[in-house]
Amino acid sequence: MEDTFCKAPVYGKMPHHRSLTIRDLPESERPRERLARLGAEALSEQELLACILGRGVARESVLMSAQRLLATFGSLRGIAEASVEQLSCVHGIGSSKAIQLKAAAELSRRVAQTSNGLHPAIDSSEKAADILRPILAHKKKEFFVILLLDNRHHLIRASTIATGSLSATIVHPRELFKEAISASAAAVILGHNHPSGDPDPSDHDLRITKRLVAAGHLLGIEVLDHVIVGSHGCVSLKTVAGHLFNR
């Protein structure tokens, strides 16, 4: 039964016919067995996806589901950046497998953020955008996220502070700086998305940034930047409205 939120036909749905399943393959050629025997690096992208998905659907191999994902989203990056809703609408995936894929993508993203066990230094708007983009780019509502940084501006973690309607997010300084104080953060970078796709700041974005910068000054926690993410790109308020960050 298809998910009710899929308003359009499910992507890549094929006529029912008998196709090869994993059990039809020799045991030595099955993705999980190949990974156990040869290591993950020996597997193709399709086989790695098949290992995450686990099983296919009636009359269809999990390898076919993996192939359909790659064809629909174009690459592993495209799959990682797709929303749960978008993934769920691919025939053979559904919400449970979509959640598995998003969890695997998030683990990969967190590993990529670390180097030799240390969290990376966020010393530019571009680096902040690189972290915020996969978190925010495909959200259908506004999400307000902060990057919590130590005194050397190494990332402690990213934390979601608020979610809102399609047109507005309500952010209270109390909630934001409570999170920062709890993490012993010395500085923060603000980030939120524009579901419209246009990352240009609104008057509301400028006002809330000014308010949060002022609150940070009082608490001794510096607000370094506010990055707005849209499908058309990212905008750094530190770059386009630097006066907001002056004491």
Q: How far apart are CA 28 and CA 104, in angstroms?
A: 25
Give 158's DSSP letter.
E
Q: Are 22-113 and 125-245 the same fold in CATH?
A: no
Q: Return the structure tokens found at 189.
A: 């970078």
CB atoms within 10 A of CB 70: 16
Residue among 135, 121, 123, 197 at smallest CA distance from 163? 135
Superfamily of domain 22-113: 5' to 3' exonuclease, C-terminal subdomain (1.10.150.20)
Q: How far apart are CA 176 and CA 221, in angstroms?
A: 11
Show pLDDT as tens, one digit a residue, over the chain (247 residues): 444 445 545 555 544 444 566 666 777 778 888 888 888 888 899 999 999 998 877 777 888 999 999 999 999 988 988 888 999 999 889 899 999 999 998 888 777 766 555 577 898 999 999 999 988 888 888 999 999 999 999 999 899 898 887 666 778 899 899 999 999 999 999 999 999 999 999 999 999 999 999 999 999 999 999 999 998 899 999 999 999 998 7
Cβ(22)–Cβ(61) under 8 Å?
yes
Residue among 207, 238, 10, 7 at smallest CA distance from 124? 238
Residue among 101, 105, 109, 16 at smallest CA distance from 51? 101
Q: How far apart are CA 86 and CA 92, in angstroms?
A: 13
Helices (H) and strands (E) in the chain, counts: 10, 5
Sheet holding 233-236, edge to edge: 155-163, 143-149, 187-193, 222-230, 233-236
Q: Burial, 37: exposed, middle or buried (Cβ in 10 Å; 0-12, 13-18, 19+)?
A: exposed
The class (CATH top level) of 125-245 is alpha beta
pTM of the model: 0.64
Residue among 103, 94, 149, 104 at smallest CA distance from 127? 149
Residue extents of the structural domains in the chain: 22-113, 125-245
